């Protein structure tokens, strides 16, 4: 068997469920072990596509920033949005991708704040697209079976 993060976490999850839980008498401790086992199991399921999910999220945010820069009438904000839209992921380590996502999301918040002061059909449509994408991001990151 090849040891990968996913197989190691699956092994830890199985050991907690099959070896540790049956030998824990205290109900509170047993529940803590069960919760730990479930968290490890969820982590194992999500680790395989973690980088891909973050890269896709960053790509989608950059599309929104591009649309924001095209619609924004505040020159300084439009320039920052265009710069964020033109950026690229600096690496594929999860910590690096997470930092980039945080940076892009901060720009998305700036865009959303500006959009809330506008009342055109285009800006309202962009605001709705942003909220739709944010829901999709959270759905993609949600634990799955």
How far is Cα 64 from Cα 40, in angstroms, rounded to an integer?
34
Taking a C-beta distance cutoff of 8 angstroms, is the pair 16, 40 a contact?
yes
CA Rg value for the chain: 21
- Which position has the higher pLDDT, 4 or 137? 137
Q: Where are the domains of the chain?
A: 5-47, 50-141
Question: What is the model's pTM?
Answer: 0.79
Which two tokens mark 69? 């820069």
* Average pLDDT of the segment spanning 6-19: 88
Taking a C-beta distance cutoff of 8 angstroms, is the pair 143, 46 a contact?
yes
Would you give the DSSP letter of residue 18? I
pLDDT recorded at residue 43: 84
Ramachandran area for residue 144 (φ above 0: left; ψ -120 to 50: alpha; else beta): beta
Q: How many CB atoms lie within 10 A of CB 46?
A: 17
pLDDT recorded at residue 6: 82
Percent of the chain residues past pLDDT 70, beyond the cut: 98
pLDDT recorded at residue 77: 97
Report the mean per-residue pLDDT for the chain.
92
Instruction: With cut-offs at 50, 70 and 90, classify the pLDDT of residue 145.
Output: low
104-119, pLDDT tens digit by residue? 999 999 999 999 999 9
Instruction: With cut-offs at 50, 70 and 90, classify the pLDDT of residue 31.
Output: very high
* Average pLDDT of the segment spanning 39-62: 89
Residue 3 belongs to what H/E stretch? none
Which two tokens mark 125? 């449509």
Instruction: With cut-offs at 50, 70 and 90, classify the pLDDT of residue 4.
Output: confident
Task: Write the DSSP assignment of 69-96 as a string of letters.
Answer: HHH---HHHHHHHHHHHH-----SSHHH
pLDDT recorded at residue 143: 73
């Amino acid at each position: 068997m090849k040891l990968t993060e996913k197989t190691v976490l699956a092994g830890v999850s199985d050991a907690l469920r099959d070896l540790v839980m049956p030998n824990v008498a205290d109900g509170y401790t047993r529940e803590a072990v069960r919760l730990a086992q479930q968290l490890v199991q969820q982590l194992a399921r999500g680790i395989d596509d973690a980088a891909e999910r973050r890269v896709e999220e960053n790509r989608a945010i950059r599309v929104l920033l591009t649309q924001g820069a095209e619609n924004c009438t505040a020159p300084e904000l439009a320039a920052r949005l265009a710069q964020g839209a033109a950026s690229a992921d600096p690496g594929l380590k999860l910590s690096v991708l997470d930092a980039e996502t945080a940076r892009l999301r901060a720009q998305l918040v700036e865009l959303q704040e500006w959009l809330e002061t506008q009342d055109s059909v285009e800006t309202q449509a962009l605001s709705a697209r942003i909220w739709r994408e944010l829901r999709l991001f959270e759905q993609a990151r949600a634990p799955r079976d």
